[in-house]
Structure 1
Amino acid sequence: MFKLPEKTETARPPNEAKHLALRYILEAWEEAVYDGIDPDCVATAAIFAALSDMISSYGEEPVAVMCERLPERIRAGEFTLSKTQQ
């Protein structure tokens, strides 16, 4: 189990904060899979948690509009962490 870092008064640049957040999520994901939870279950729970949080912050319609753009973003490789080169 990992420990959250102490909160500091200085704000991180947005890109750095996103990378740090992704690292935390991926570490939790790996821990869940290591503990025997099916990756599809982890993925479903992560998507649900993300969408629920975004809806709480922005409302249903803006999140729905963002989700409408997901197919083209996925096809463009925006969510691909490692690309296979041939």
Structure 2
Amino acid sequence: MTESYLSDIDEMIVYEKMQAALEHQNDAWAEGFADGIEPEIIADAAIVTVMRETVKLFGEDATEAMLEDLKQRLLTGEFSPERLIQ
């Protein structure tokens, strides 16, 4: 097997894991909403959880770098619901 082939497999595995994680988060969001929790409260709780876990795993400096990256992605419209992927 070539290194490129293994890299492609690794990318597919990461992509599939990301899709599964997004499904779990969407399910949790839907459950919270169904229980009468407002979307802004669900979003805030999700962000707090992510920040705590990210700081725990990677430290504050790496978390800050991640936030800067997310800010740039936000500003370029990556998370916009109206964004078209071509």
In the TM superposition, residue 84 of structure 1 has moved relative to its aligned partner by 6.1
* Cα distance change on mapping 1:27 and 1:65 into 2, 3 Å: same
Q: List aligned pairs for 1:11-30, cutoff 5 A.
A: 13-30=13-30
* Cα distance change on mapping 1:72 and 1:84 into 2, 3 Å: closer
CA contact 2:51–2:63 (8 Å) conserved in 1: yes
Residues 4-28 of structure 1, C-alpha deviations (whole Å, 9 max, x = no match) = xxxxxxxx70011011101100111
Percent of aligned pairs sharing the same letter: 32
Distance 1:38 1:29 in 2: 10
3-state SS of the aligned residue for 2:36?
A: coil
AA aligned opposite 1:63: T
How many residues are treated as equivalent by the alignment? Answer: 74
Corresponding residue of 1:74 = 74
**Which protein has the larger Cα radius of gyration, Structure 1 or Structure 2?**
2
AA aligned opposite 1:72: Q
**Two-structure CA RMSD over aligned residues (Å):** 2.0
Select the structure that is richer in helix: 2
Question: Which consecutive aligned stretches of 4+ in structure 1 deviate over 6 angstroms post-superposition?
Answer: none
State the structure with bigger RCO (CA 8 A, min sep 6), 1 or 2.
1
Corresponding residue of 2:82 = 83
Extract unaligned runs of 5+ from structure 1. 1-11
Normalising to structure 1: TM-score of the pair? 0.75
Distance 2:17 2:79 in 1: 17
